[in-house]
Structure 1
Amino acid sequence: MDEDIVEYQADIARLMLHHIHASLAGDQYIRGVLPAPPPAEAVRIVTGPKAHAPDGLTAYEIPLDGDDLLPLSTITGILRTLHTGTHIYPSRSISSVMGMNLVRVEPATVEPADPTPEDTALTLLHALAFRDEEPKPRLLGFLLTDKDRLRLYFDTEDPSGTVAADVRTSGALTALIAALPSLITEEERLTVDDTDPHCSRVMDLTGW
């Protein structure tokens, strides 16, 4: 199988771990992520109620195109749409596997739901907390302070202690992650928040 497809399936599996215990949509949770049997290049995502109920599981097979992979957030959006309202599938799209209903999804026919604020916050936190090299600055904690606002706590070389940074989860996350190591050292951005005992100083990056 194409190496890009394999790596992408691994990314999907990591992404979906969160929804084992956090609802994907309504009472539906992620119950499994399966690589489709060869030669199909697809991923099968199993959903169902939180309480184990084998007869309540459905596997959705989403095709993967190695030349034009869907953004990970789109996969989540497709699944949320499929669990909203009533959907009628052509008979050719329905079968079964391991005792579960299997639905073959045509992504072009599904309008993905928009990411939630929690989705974007999780994307940012994963990128900061799980990196190949020892992350600098190190993420020590976080606090969701508003629908689109997140406070991040970092261990830095600042002798006064932990530094916090307020960011918007709807901002340019990739650029922010790349710039954080230098931004966090800019003294002119630092202020004191007397209401927060968990950091010595804080900077506002919500407009960055």
Structure 2
Amino acid sequence: MLKSAIAMAAIFITVAVSGCTLPWETAPEDYHMHADFKVILEGKAMDLNKAEYMSDEYKELSHDAHMHDFNPNVIHFHSRDATLGEFFKSIGMGLTGDCFSDGKADYCSGANGKLAMYVNGAPATEYGDYRPRDLDKILIYYGEGTPTKEMLDSITSESCIYSKKCPMPQGFNLPAENCTAGKPCSIYDTA
């Protein structure tokens, strides 16, 4: 009996210190997928590699759709119902059928340019209502004409690494994704 209690205490302390869940617990997330994306405004790729756009263990901008680990190329989705519009709203931006807002300026279809969205190289019309699928490549484009092949090809394929559907390149650091501010690592699942 005493040996059993000591063994359980040792497991409890090890798990608590390591920040992991117990093996008999269910995973905290039932749904987790990834999409690559890029925003190009007037010919320039938007710089999204900033702390204000990233979720981490202390600050979760959105549980359902977010970026983290200073990787501005991949959106992580934790809900089948999460939309691209919800993601952009969580980082202080907006996306509708005719306007993209970067939080400072609006880029609306009109005389100065056209807003367009491409998913996997094809024009798409859902914009903010779009529910991404695993490994999607999404381009939000504002400018004259249509995006070039080079622009479309510049969208990364890093989502397949996070989804563990392609080999991890040498030197790529794949961080753990199971702990966030909204759902920190815990020993007991109380949700």
In terms of fraction of residues, the more helix-rich structure is 1
TM-score for the superposition, normalised by structure 1: 0.23
TM-score for the superposition, normalised by structure 2: 0.25
Larger RCO: 1 or 2 (CA < 8 Å, sep 6+): 2
